[in-house]
Chains A and B, each alone.
Chain A
Amino acid sequence: MPRRGDIEKILVIGSGPIVIGQAAEFDYSGAQACKVLLEEGYEVVLVNSNPATIMTDPEFATATYIEPLEPESVARVIERERPDALLPTLGGGTALNLARALTEDGTLARFGVELIGADYEAIQRAEDRLRFRDTMQAAGLAVPRSSVVASIAEGERALERVGLPAIVRPGFTMGGEGGGIARSHAEYRERVAEGLAASPIGQVLVEQSLIGWGEFELELMRDARDNVVVVCSIENVDPMGVHTGDSVTVAPQQTLSDAQYQRLRDQAKTVIRAVGVETGGSNIQFAVDPASGEIVVIEMNPRVSRSSALASKATGFPIAKIAARLAVGYALDEIDNDITRRTPASFEPAIDYVVVKWPRFAFEKFPGSDGALSTHMQSVGETMAIGRTFKQAFVKAMRSRELDLPVVAPADPAELLERLEISTPDRYELLLAALAGGVAEAEVCARTGIDPWFVAEIAALARGEDPEAGLARTFKAVDTCAAEFEAETPYYYSGFEAPGPEGPRHEVRRGERASVVILGSGPNRIGQGIEFDYCCVHAAMTVRASGRDAVMINCNPETVSTDYDTSDRLYFEPLTLTDVLGVIELERPEGVIVQFGGQTPLKLARELVDAGVPLLGTPVEAIDRAEDRPRFGRLCAELGLRTPAYATAESPQDALDAAERVGYPLLVRPSYVLGGRAMEICYSSDALADYLSRTGAGTPAGERGTIYLDRFLENAMELDVDALCDGEQVLIGGLMQHVEEAGIHSGDSACVIPPMSLGPDMLAQVRQATEQLALALGVVGLMNVQFAVRGEEELYVIEANPRASRTVPFVSKTVGVPLAKVACRLMLGERLRDLGLEERLGPGGPKGRHVAVKEAVLPFDRFPRADSLLGPEMKSTGEVMGVAADYPAAFGKAQAAAGATLPSAGAVFVSVTDYDKPSATQLAASLHDLGFRILATRGTAHAIRRLGVPAERLQKRGEGSPNVVDRIESGEVDLVINTPTGSGARADGYEIRRAAVARGIPCVTTMTGATAAQRAIVAMSRGPADLRSLQELHAEAAGHAEAAGHAEAAGTPKTPA
């Protein structure tokens, strides 16, 4: 069957913000799909709320809508665009669930939109755990004993069938959210309750435990002619009981015999046919009893998934691309394998290397969470390594993780063994230590359930075997066919091999053209996410456009940067000095770009230069100057720029003394990390002493490096500026005003373009300060500066990052200028004055009248026991963008997109510090006028009543029940406004915030945030905000008259920040 001619316009739904369980892999698959559909000559309409994605770049779709991924807003896009078809299989569970909702509410039927790539029934059969179980049994396949439960009572009955330990798994949630292992009856009741709450359909599956069985995944593709191929097999090194997303996994599978593997393959084909996925990719998970070989089906994802992205990178088989072609009518044998170019896609890749995927965790940021791995996913990113043997890939993956701190294993063997019993992020270090310490392999197997084969391989490493020693780094190609055919696609990795007579037998075809190496950002982690990959991809595009070869080095399988289509040569390698130098030695590049990959490449800059490697853009000298706190402080002083009083200390005592000079409150942190790790506000010397002892900062045993002490600016407004500089001229890309006050990490606070409450003088000051800094540092490319404004007049510089920042994609999409691309052109030698951007980025700012709000998305729902309070340490995993004609409307959209849709009616609970009471009472009054019921704790209630606004007083937790927490848990509250002071109140508020998060109720913890929310609620009451595509907005920003027409809108009010 050839391309379908009966459809012209296709709607693609993205996966929204990066959250645990749904990350950058969906930008990779979505971007691939959009590219393919455009190539095939279709019009593509894209909806995605995540601005930090490549897929939302205007050139990836005919019309791009940055809107909340909710049925209502997608329906409005459908109504406006009238697509012929909806392709829902590339945006993860989010897109699939939306497709289901839009089918059920009749929207698709009403506008005659056809679902392609998946049909409603198949989605149901796969995602509804009950129907899936029945479908499998009908097809003669084994599934774990289980009962579907819709109430606590049913849960009790189910337990009798299933027994303890039991697995509780909510229906229709991502990454197993709300699920878990119940070992005791009490734990069981708790889990079932959590699960019922987490499941959008109030359904959980209670399942017989298969903990300790082997876990395997197969990635399949099926076309409309019922041809099925298995693209890749993936074996979890961590056995059943640890979510595949949190498991160290290996591809292809290692421990199954051919006979056993073929059984798995046969069953997988039965599953995909039984579920009835007509075309596209599916991920099928199995559990295998290591003792008997018994096979049990766990689940199937009838769509492109995290694992399929991994499989694509592991094999070179572009699953998403091909899924998109299949969805528009092609058959597998009508599609070329673009790696060989001469063989069709209807084959199964043959791998001649070993791939190891390693998850990246962030438990240290969520005190309170126990850090134990379970059946619900908790990792925030992953890294992949390719080696010629398992051992090579394993050690490579370990060094790809880029841990902030080395893992210290307990010396006491007994304690070691103890800790092996529960899987934790550091389990492999513990395992290595145990084995090195002489613990028997069998013992380790017994404790961990890890297959003896893997334990043996790891034991060899523990005994000091170095899989690289004595061998030569040899670059090999990933070619889908184990070298049976010539590979056209330059996708490389380094193996370690016995060299030939003329040295290592490299496969790289370097060509004659000059090349530029772009260093990626490694595994996603909190503080360094997809935004940086976005910048690296833009750099690659720009380098290619300049007629040079773009060479990408990165080790994150989720990303677009590690798509072999993105660069001229992709080296899938760890971002360590030696690995990078290994590539550079072969590439001999014209230059290396370290500015786009976040802190990861920046950390390498100095050593690279020392090794004689030419850097492009901002010189390393400038990088050091900006990164070194004291030197930067001096620079600001020279420039006459105010910075908060600060001091550095080398020891705890040192710190306590310095603190007296700086004055409290102050902000403490170790010197080296991104995302404000281990950063805290201390209001007293006791608090500081406590911090120092907890973190061990400054002590030799503790975190390396200096301690920084900054005077904490209370109640200051924070600004973020992204600027372009060519060494002579500076242009401001974007000037963002934070919604939350300074003290909430820039990555976690919402921000708005244009700034809402800065007078022209202050704006001018900010511009000038930015310009001074960029020129003084000698920035060539991008720079990000964070300012704090106190009162009307005082401007402080908080920090300057001589690199692309987290906000570059958001700003680029708002102002319609691709900042990273421009920066890259500057690094390649072009001058700002020749790029004609003054028009758009000059003091006049962009012409567009729209307002854009960025909101952070936080993972507290994944760490139920951690406090959801914001602070100077970054905690968000992703971001969304809300764009509209005015600030309140844009803010409302951003909230909805972030999953915290503001209520239009109901009850608001208010509990604020004395400092905030005045503004809180005003706010309560206006919410009351909008028809909200006001609930408050004693003090706040009292203050509100004084304004003549009725406020129901709720008891605090200590004051007996029913108290605030009970009322929130019982669903009587629709919005929580709770501001804590730096001191005691945090503890009180904790339970309130925890309850709100657990119930998914929007919970605002700052007054400025609350005011913005109240404004947004007012705006919403005036009806839905206007809807326009990014392409229209950019045309407007570029000043095109015709589009500018309907930009008129309610004047933008000021935030009282």
Chain B
Amino acid sequence: MPASAYLLLEDGERFDGVAAGATGGESTGEVVFNTAMSGYQEAVTDPSYRGQIIIFTYPLIGNYGVSAAAQESDAVHARAVVMREGIDREDAFEAEGGWLTWLADCDVPAIAGVDTRALVRHIRERGAMRGGIFAGETAADDALERVLAEPTIDGRDLVAEVSPSEPTLLDADGSGPLLACIDTGIKGSIVSHLRSRGARLELHPYRTGAAELLERHPDAVFLANGPGDPGALDQVVDTVRELVGRVPVFGICLGHQLLCRAIGLETFKLPFGHHGANHPVKDLASGAIDITSQNHGYAVLGPGGERTIAGEDPVRWETDFGTAELSHLNLYDRTVEGLVLRDVAGATVQYHPEAGPGPHDAEHVFDSFLAMI
């Protein structure tokens, strides 16, 4: 009989379940839900989930075990995992271990047996909020105190926890274009997508200055994905500001938000974010729709400060760097999913063309990035 545990939200809502993963593990963080039906290991090792507790809406998590190939980084970044049912098997041909065992080994607290659907509906209605996983015997009022003690994501620099302290040069002796990457917590899949296309990649600590980056004479600067609030990264934004126009700049997810802020656009916090693998995104140039992998809590405001884009007319921002044009639109909630800079070299997408996990529809984005060099 596994030990009882419960999830407590900052508004006092409580969901009971049983402890899984790290024994006796307790943890607090921002509670978000992910609607992908597979890819649990990719998710928890994605640095963008730093500081967050992930609810998986798919009820069975762990079916096909874990494997080194599915790692998006070398650590688990999610604070904790909430599941309807956790499974610890390794039948799949790629499996190298069981999910629950692995969580325990990585010292990640988890809770199973939770009515995750009711929980998700609660968060959908009230918005993402702080919460924590606690052992059954922990008193609810202590638990609530600890939840409230957890700082909110807003204005918080989580990148510091995931960015490297030293630069790394990959494929130094290759002949492809050189990309200087401001590593705010880059996913493994992005790295391999760029490398598989012949790019030479340099991963730099996120506080690296523009001058230092330009000294490397990169063919382009790449702004990676990463955790938390783009509003808390003014130093990076300033760096990007100095880079735009002098070298092509591309960004994915957080990188997209940072470039947008750098050219003067605003970001805002979505009620409960986009975390899943089924969001339709329309490429406004071609009309093509990609089913995309998504993982972000913030988004970019439209030219008039609007959160969603109405109508079909072209959307443009006039910036210090000339015109920026909306290139991709989320068909679920019509939020900004990407833009191109018309007068200087630069383009970004909010979603995850690298998938990992999720559909491969948007891989072509990497080709178009590199084609701009």
Which A residues form the contact surface with B (CB < 8 A)? 225-227, 229-230, 252, 254-262, 265-266, 290-293, 332-333, 343-344, 346-354, 388-390, 451-453, 456, 474, 476, 481-486, 495, 497-498, 500-501, 505, 507
Contacts and interface: CB of A to CB of B under 8 A. Distances in A.
Interface stretch (B193-201, B213-221, B257-265, B282-290): B282-290
A495 B113 CA distance: 12
A482 B116 CA distance: 10
A452 B278 contact: no
A535 B206 CA distance: 67
Given A290-B93, A507-B121, A350 B57 contact: yes
B38 interface: yes
A258 B358 contact: yes
A257 B278 contact: no
B291 A262 contact: no
Given A354-B60, A484-B120, 11 more contacts: A257-B38, A257-B92, A258-B70, A333-B280, A343-B331, A350-B57, A350-B58, A352-B35, A352-B116, A481-B278, A500-B115
5 contacts: A332-B289, A343-B331, A352-B116, A484-B120, A486-B124
B69 interface: yes
Ranked nearest first, the 3 interchain pairs of A and B with the lowest CB-CB distance are: A258-B39, A482-B57, A258-B357
Contacts of A230: 291
B37 interface: yes
Contacts of A501: 14
Nearest to A225: B287
Describe B's contact surface by its main secondary structure. loop
Nearest to A486: B124
Given A257-B38, A347-B279, A483 B288 contact: no
A453 B89 CA distance: 8
Given A226-B288, A348-B278, A256 B64 contact: yes
Interface string B336-352: 00000000000000000
A354 B289 CA distance: 28
Contact of B360 (A266, A350, A474, A507): A266
B211 interface: no
Nearest to A481: B35
A452 B89 CA distance: 9
Contacts of B15: 498, 500
Nearest to B120: A483
B220 to A, nearest CB: 27
Interface string B9-24: 0000011110000000
B227 interface: no
Describe A's contact surface by its main secondary structure. loop
Interface in B74-100: 84-85, 89, 91-95
Nearest to B39: A258
Contact of B359 (A262, A390, A497): A262
B8 to A, nearest CB: 13
Interface of B: 14-17, 33, 35-39, 42, 57-60, 63-64, 67, 69-70, 84-85, 89, 91-95, 113-118, 120-121, 124, 276-280, 282, 287-289, 291, 331-332, 355, 357-360
Contacts of A256: 38, 64, 92
B56 to A, nearest CB: 9
Nearest to A254: B63
A392 to B, nearest CB: 9
Contacts of B60: 254, 354, 389-390
A452 B59 contact: no
A350 B35 contact: yes
B58 A347 contact: no
B165 to A, nearest CB: 31
B113 A483 contact: no
A252 B278 CA distance: 14
A259 B359 contact: no
A936 B347 CA distance: 85
B17 A498 contact: yes
A351 B276 CA distance: 12
Contacts of B95: 257
B326 to A, nearest CB: 16
B289 A333 contact: yes
B280 A484 contact: no
B60 to A, nearest CB: 6
Contact of B93 (A261, A291, A351): A291
Contacts, number: 158
Contacts of A484: 33, 35, 57, 120, 124, 276, 332
B270 to A, nearest CB: 12
B120 A482 contact: yes
A388 B113 CA distance: 10
Contacts of B278: 347-350, 481
B115 A497 contact: yes
B280 A347 contact: yes
A498 B38 contact: no
Given A256-B64, A505-B118, A498 B16 contact: yes
A257 B331 contact: no
A1052 B258 CA distance: 85
A451 B94 contact: no
A730 B77 CA distance: 74
Given A389-B60, A482-B58, A498-B113, A258 B38 contact: yes
Nearest to A347: B280
Contacts of A349: 278
Contacts of A257: 38, 64, 67, 70, 92, 94-95
A169 B117 CA distance: 44
B279 A258 contact: no
A62 to B, nearest CB: 34
A353 B116 CA distance: 11
A262 B355 contact: yes
B364 to A, nearest CB: 13
B181 to A, nearest CB: 24
A252 B58 CA distance: 10
A508 to B, nearest CB: 13
A326 to B, nearest CB: 13
B79 to A, nearest CB: 21
A388 B358 contact: no
Given A332-B289, A452-B89, A389 B358 contact: no
Given A258-B42, A262-B359, A388-B84, A483 B37 contact: no
Contacts of B37: 252, 350-351
B336 to A, nearest CB: 17
Contacts of A350: 35-37, 57-58, 276-278
Contacts of B289: 225, 227, 332-333, 346
A346 B16 CA distance: 36
B192 to A, nearest CB: 12
Contacts of B117: 352, 388, 476, 482-483, 495
B85 A389 contact: yes
Contact of A389 (B84, B114, B291): B84
Counting chain B CB atoms within 10 Å of each CB, the highest count among A252, A254, A474, A498 belongs to: A498
Contact of B92 (A255, A353, A388): A255
Nearest to B124: A483
Nearest to A288: B93
A351 B39 CA distance: 14
A610 B18 CA distance: 39
A456 B58 contact: no
Contacts of A495: 117
Contact of A347 (B120, B121, B331): B331
Nearest to A476: B117
Counting chain B CB atoms within 10 Å of each CB, the highest count among A350, A353, A456, A505 belongs to: A350
A507 B125 CA distance: 13
Nearest to A500: B118
A746 B6 CA distance: 60
Contacts of B121: 483, 507
Counting chain A CB atoms within 10 Å of each CB, the highest count among B14, B289, B360 belongs to: B289
A255 B94 CA distance: 11
A352 B58 contact: yes
Counting chain B CB atoms within 10 Å of each CB, the highest count among A226, A256, A344, A453 belongs to: A453
